[in-house]
Amino acid sequence: MRMRTIEISVGVFVLAGMLGLVFLAIQVSGVNFSRGEESYQITARFNDVAGLRTRGKVSMAGVTIGRVKSIEVDMEWGDAVVTMQMFGSPGKLTTDTGAKILTEGILGTRYIGLLPGADEETLQAGDEITDTQGALVLENLIGEFLTNLGGSK
């Protein structure tokens, strides 16, 4: 009888531990288990991503519609190739969609903002966004400002 109580207690204990892990996975780190959800990938080239991280938001009009999957550098052209995992099925974003790297909140989290285009044709899986604008880097801005200041004299 005593052994039985011990076994039940240990079972409850292990279960509580698993519950803790599930809580940490879903509620705290936001792991998405629903793999069945449809998604597709598109890429974009930026001259500078400055602090954009994988799993960062891709949003349009402030609504998250995708996540940054990977960021690589193209040594030949000297720009960054960002692969984005978009939710839903392809065929909604036009080929002249614009992509911009923006900053959010006090911590300066970088995310990608998409601007709607007007073209007839739409982006398919694996397509590339051509109309892009990289992150504003403060040092470059100041540098430009100083050159302009010098030039206007």
Partner 1 sequence: MRFNVWMNSLGRASMLWVDAMTGWPRLSDLALVVQQIYKVGFLSLIIIVLSAFSIGAVLALQFFTQLSSFGAQEAVGIGLALVVLRELGPVVTALLFAGRAGSAITAEIGLMKTTEQLSAMEMMGVDPLRRIIAPRIWAGIISVPILTAIFNMVAIYGGMLVAVEWLGADSGGFWTGMQEQVEWWEDVGKGMLKSVIFALLITWVAVFQGYDSLPTAAGMSMATTRTVVISSVLILATDFLLTLVLYGDL
Helices (H) and strands (E) in the chain, counts: 2, 8
Q: What minimum distance in Å lies between the beta carbon of 17 and partner 1?
A: 3
The CB-of-93 to partner 1 minimum distance in angstroms stands at 23
One residue of 1, 4, 13, 139 binding partner 1 per CB under 8 A: 13
- Spatial distance between the Cα atoms of 117 and 91, rounded to a whole number of angstroms: 13
**30 contacts 36 by C-beta, under 8 angstroms:** no
| Binding-site string for partner 1 from residue 69 to residue 108, where x marks contact by CB under 8 A and - marks none | ------------------------------------xxx-
Nearer to partner 1, 26 or 146 (CB): 26
Residue 25 interacting with partner 1 (CB under 8 A): yes
Pick from 1, 6, 61, 138 the residue near partner 1 by CB under 8 A.
6
What is the C-alpha to C-alpha distance for residues 147 and 23, in angstroms, rounded to an integer?
Answer: 53
Rounded distance between C-alpha atoms, residue 76 and residue 14, angstroms:
53
Query: Nearest CA to 129 among 41, 38, 37?
Result: 41
The footprint of partner 1 (CB under 8 A) covers 3, 6-7, 9-10, 12-14, 16-21, 23-25, 27-31, 55, 57, 105-107, 109
